[in-house]
Structure 1
């Protein structure tokens, strides 16, 4: 018998999810989601794994980034929860009805069972209502191995929508190159909330960044922006995806087997 991952939320519309959402709605958060500051407009569809999330919360509509890890699963940050979520794949300009776009509602949301207000385990799986059709503009992004290492000085790519430099609104996908920092840079800034086993310290002194999207190093998803300064000044803290590979794989496997029953 397959045992389901504990504390999984079965449905975005369930009473359990509504209670969880209510309990977390009032937190004073400095999480960073759905936006990117600085960088440049990306070449259209040069990041085909990107997912744009439109999230309905108790009081408003929010946006986040994410990435397609399987035809019917998207990975994002746990703080990107909501009472309902729609995922847009294959988009460059989110305000346009591009022929490449696939808009799919989220069937179930699975925040990590140990996610908490200190931003520990800030990662979530979204199961889509149907499988995405893989195309040149919609493709999967690789997960890192469990022992994958990223080191200070490595420069990786972050992509996202919503805002560019000088507070100018944008609906087009932007990208920025960011450097991995030494753990001490985030430990001195954030102290207790930073844990090097599940976090990565990222940010350049000359770049401001703010995104719920994947941090990609050599075509592998290594991090997801979790929290930082409200004004967006670096460094920021990213969830270290390699520490959650086992949880991601087990959760997807369980629900794939469940769907076959």
Structure 2
């Protein structure tokens, strides 16, 4: 899931094409109990995976790009090959942001209404959202977890994690033409070479126990930093849609 290039590897041929990530750290089982393992079929009928996070007993937030056919959500997962005692819950309704743009990757946020409420336990818990316009500051170090690609484009069975540093907005403006600091976060120190990858999209960027961002995009060259959706800017939208979801 995550990229960490050491000095030893610097002398070896390394490819980062396609979001290839190396030397991820396996998370302690159920240390991120809010995580949702999401699968769906894309327009070409390819089975894809994403992350998501439980914010209410029956609501998961993920990235809008994770929308497709036959979306499935499983809670309480650490190893996706060992699903005993996990909670697979059908998705009742999908609410993708109306202004999501897949080319510019803006408004990359989506709500999933589950068919029934999750049973909260040590492996399944909700995570707090920030207040509206509550911004994380540059240099702050936060955590991302997911089941995204490892080195060699292999997909891990077990949940991986990494700590990433928030960057100044100017760093992302130089690499991403459509970067908007009011709705997006610039994340990842180029000197550390740690990053997310394909399959991690939709997962939360967690700062002090609060979901502040959503993994959204990385540069086509594999260079850092990356761009995450800034959740605090979407709190009014989330609250509005949550009210709609509560209606019978």
Q: One fold, TM greater than 0.5?
A: yes
Q: Find the aligned partners of 1:106 and 1:173 in 2 and give their Cα distance.
A: 22
Where do 4+ consecutive residues of structure 1 move more than 4 Å? 35-38, 165-168
Select 1:188's aligned residue among 169, 174, 194.
Answer: 174
Where do 1:129-144 residues align within 5 Å? 129-144=115-130
Partner residue of 1:158?
A: 144
State the Cα distance separating 1:36 from its structure 2 match: 6.5
1:201 to 164, 168, 186: 186
Distance in 1 (alpha carbons) for counterparts of 2:65 and 2:153 = 23
The 1-side partners of 2:127 and 2:21 are apart by: 20
Aligned length: 225
Give the Å deviation of 1:54. 0.8
Over the aligned positions, Cα root-mean-square deviation in angstroms equals 1.9
Go from structure 1 to structure 2 and tell me whether the alpha carbon gap of 1:38 and 1:125 turns closer, same or farther (over 3 Å shift): farther
Structure 2, unaligned runs of 5 or more: 1-16
Match of 1:80 among 42, 52, 66: 66
**Aligned residue for 2:38?**
53
Q: Are the aligned partners of 2:21 and 2:153 in contact in 1 as well (CA < 8 Å)?
A: no
Distance in 1 (alpha carbons) for counterparts of 2:237 and 2:150: 33
Deviations along 1:45-67, one digit per CA (max 9) or x if unpaired, are 00000000011223211100000
- Which has more helix, going by share of residues? 1
Distance in 2 separating the partners of 1:133 and 1:64: 22
Structure 1 residues 127, 49: CA separation in 2 closer, same or farther (over 3 Å shift)?
same
User: Is the 2:92–2:114 contact (alpha carbons within 8 Å) kept by the matching residues of 1?
Assistant: yes
Provide, for residues 168-207 of structure 1, a one-character-per-residue CA deviation record: whole Å limited to 9, x for no partner. 431000000000011011000112x100000000012221
1:115 aligns with 100
* 1:22 alignment partner in structure 2: none
Residue 68 (str. 1) matches residue 54 (str. 2): yes
Deviation string, structure 1 residues 83-140 (Cα, Å, up to 9, x no partner):
11110100100111232x1001211111101111311111000111111111111000
Whether 2:32 is the aligned partner of 1:42: answer no
Q: Distance in 1 between matches of 2:106 and 2:94?
A: 18
